[in-house]
A and B are shown apart, each in its own frame.
Chain A
Amino acid sequence: MQEYVMIMVSAALVNNVILARFLGLCSFMGVTTRVDTAVGMGMATTFVITVSSVLDWAVQTYLLWPYDLGYLRTVTFILVIAAAVQFTEMTIKKVSPPLFQMLGIYLPLITTNCAVLGVALLVVEGKLGFLASVMFAFASSLGYSLVMVIFAGLRERLALAEVPLLFAGPPIGFITAGLLALAFMGFSGMGAK
């Protein structure tokens, strides 16, 4: 149990996907102008990362390793992720068309989100068991969503602030992201004696 908690805290906070591994920066800057859109994107990404990591773990364990096909890993994972996104899109459309109308816009953005592929590769590199891999992927995506929502909240405040013209727009956004990354570096001291 303690092992799973350590994996989750490490993946979500200490080695945060966005602020420590610098993955998913495109959506981090692009979809964080409002908190509600950040929540939508965060939830969608959490779902896709976790489900695709489950499938990628199965493909790696039962197909790529036994048949010594490791060199096909990246291509295979991209295919699996694209299939997972397409499956999710079709399922949500089937389960609830109104929800698809509201949330469908985020799914195509996830297909090319490098955080999804990055987490899947990290899961495999970690050579963890199935449940530990799922927990790692889930916690990584929770960390991604947490940072997205925090940053969206900060940017909503910044929209009302009197920012000098030189820093207005993306520059103050990057400065804020840098300060947020510094704040998250505080978690790297967790567990140190």
Chain B
Amino acid sequence: MSVPSPTDDALVEGFARVVAVEGVVAWLEPEATTSCSGCSASSACGSPGGIGTVASRIEARRFSLPNDQGYVVGERVVIGVREQALVKASLTAYAIPLLCMLVAAVVAQWRFGRDEITLAASLIGLVMGFSVARVSANYLRARGGTTLRFVRRADEDASSQRVSTKIQRIERCKNT
């Protein structure tokens, strides 16, 4: 059985709210997902305003889009990013530093055979891995691989979105 290959335009979608419009740039904040309320951590991160709370984390993730759609402050929109981009981003941010750390640890253990040196080498490898990840992330960004896109206004056609998602999934399963 072959592995399903998502099409290039398959998007991971999410909701965001327009919080400011500054000329040609609109600032948006992602909405907390409904699963947040069901999460076991919700009580721990529910106090408003503090460091590490849901509100502060969402504010930290504020992003901008070109204001080519005539956004209005307070408006809810659907934004998307390519499915492949999410996987590539995960590999860049996590796999590269982790592999560098593991390789450094294995080499140090094989060369010196002492836990203290292996520990130090693994931490150095982790820092080097982040440097490599930074270069790789810049390359991804230059190719537009991590760009968030406007998909549609949230209130436009929620039902047609559900249908299109289902059709997309059926097409993917047919390809297997």
Q: Could you list which residues of chain A lie within 8 angstroms of chain B, going by C-beta atoms?
A: 26, 30, 34, 36-37, 39-40, 43-44, 46-47, 50-51, 54, 57-58, 61, 86, 91-93, 95-96, 98-105, 108-109, 111-112, 129-131, 134, 138, 156-157, 159-160
Contacts and interface: CB of A to CB of B under 8 A. Distances in A.
A39 B86 contact: yes
Interface of B: 12, 30, 33, 35, 38-41, 44-45, 52, 54, 57, 60-61, 63, 81, 83, 85-87, 89-95, 97-98, 101-102, 105-106, 109, 115, 118-119, 122-123, 126, 130, 133-134, 137-138, 140-141, 146-148, 166, 169-170, 173
Contact of B119 (A26, A54, A98): A54
B12 to A, nearest CB: 6
Contact of B94 (A47, A93, A156): A47
Nearest to A132: B109
A48 B98 CA distance: 9
A160 B166 CA distance: 8
Given A86-B52, A91-B130, A96-B140, 7 more contacts: A30-B39, A36-B87, A96-B134, A96-B146, A98-B146, A160-B169, A160-B170
B106 A98 contact: no
Pairs A-B, 4 closest by C-beta atoms: A96-B137, A43-B90, A98-B146, A47-B94
A134 B102 contact: yes
Nearest to B14: A105
B81 A43 contact: no
B87 A39 contact: yes
16 contacts: A36-B86, A40-B90, A43-B93, A50-B102, A93-B60, A95-B134, A98-B89, A99-B140, A103-B93, A108-B41, A108-B57, A112-B44, A130-B115, A159-B166, A159-B169, A160-B170
